[in-house]
Copies of this chain bind each other. A is one copy, B any other.
């Protein structure tokens, strides 16, 4: 799985991959580092940062920024382009698609002569579980 990306199969990468496969919520590099330590599979913080960066580049992980600017990662179910509806409290996320919006974005950009267009779109709210727990 990692080898298909020209990467070596190390214990650490396996541990990170196993973890993000289990955790459904968006988690920061530091949180992942702590979770690994807690389960007795310690991986250096630097390595966690490098690993999630690599996996994100390869499209294996989704990255978004929390309100405070911290980057949080999550295993994405689909390789296709999508966005997220994320819980502000627990990080629980739902993948959402909006083809009509993608087209709108393209058109708006083209109308103003902008090229090489990309967009960021994330929805933040409080999930049903966290709402109920209040």
Query: A: which residues have CB within 8 A of B?
Result: 65, 69, 71, 85, 87-88, 94, 96, 98, 100-101, 104-105, 108-109, 112-128, 131
Contacts and interface: CB of A to CB of B under 8 A. Distances in A.
Contacts of A119: 121-124
Contact of A108 (B88, B96, B116): B96
A109 B121 contact: no
A98 B102 CA distance: 12
A118 B119 CA distance: 17
A121 B124 contact: no
A128 to B, nearest CB: 4
Contact of A125 (B117, B120, B121): B117
8 closest pairs, A vs B, by CB? A114-B125, A113-B128, A117-B125, A121-B121, A119-B123, A116-B126, A69-B69, A94-B112
Contacts of A128: 112-114
A127 B108 contact: no
A120 to B, nearest CB: 5
Contacts of A96: 108
Contacts of A127: 112-114
A118 B112 contact: no
A96 B88 CA distance: 26
Given A69-B71, A108-B123, A118-B125, 4 more contacts: A98-B101, A113-B131, A120-B120, A120-B121
